[in-house]
Amino acid sequence: AQTVTQSQPEMSVQEAETVTLSCTYDTSESDYYLFWYKQPPSRQMILVIRQEAYKQQNATENRFSVNFQKAAKSFSLKISDSQLGDAAMYFCAYRSGTSGTYKYIFGTGTRLKVLA
């Protein structure tokens, strides 16, 4: 069974600085997708960035980028120029590319605090 581990329950970053959130996963599959979701106090999960396992190039979305290390099964999220609005829970998620179900396996989350 696949597992996702986020070992940092909480992180803090100064406004305008850079922070990296860690995520490791375990799977025997070769076809899968990885995601980072943001969950603010409104509770709605918002997609931040996604990565296909077959792509070697790391995904980037504006101030957000990932470091995808497939052999190490690591998928970290880097937030550059942190803003107050980035404060939220961040969840790493895995989705199989071969299973008929589209379910996510989520980590336990990292709470990001942004200090003014």
Partner 1 sequence: EAGVAQSPRYKIIEKRQSVAFWCNPISGHATLYWYQQILGQGPKLLIQFQNNGVVDDSQLPKDRFSAERLKGVDSTLKIQPAKLEDSAVYLCASSRGIPIYGYTFGSGTRLTVV
* Amino acid at site 44: Q
From the list 7, 18, 30, 108, which residue makes contact with partner 1 (rule: CB under 8 A)? Answer: 108
Residue 16 DSSP symbol: T
Nearest to 69 by CA among 18, 22, 2: 22
The verdict on 64 binding partner 1 (CB under 8 A) reads no
The verdict on 91 binding partner 1 (CB under 8 A) reads yes
Total interface residues for partner 1 by CB under 8 A: 23
The verdict on 104 binding partner 1 (CB under 8 A) reads yes
Give the integer Cα–Cα distance in Å for 41 and 87: 9
From the list 33, 58, 64, 96, which residue makes contact with partner 1 (rule: CB under 8 A)? Answer: 33
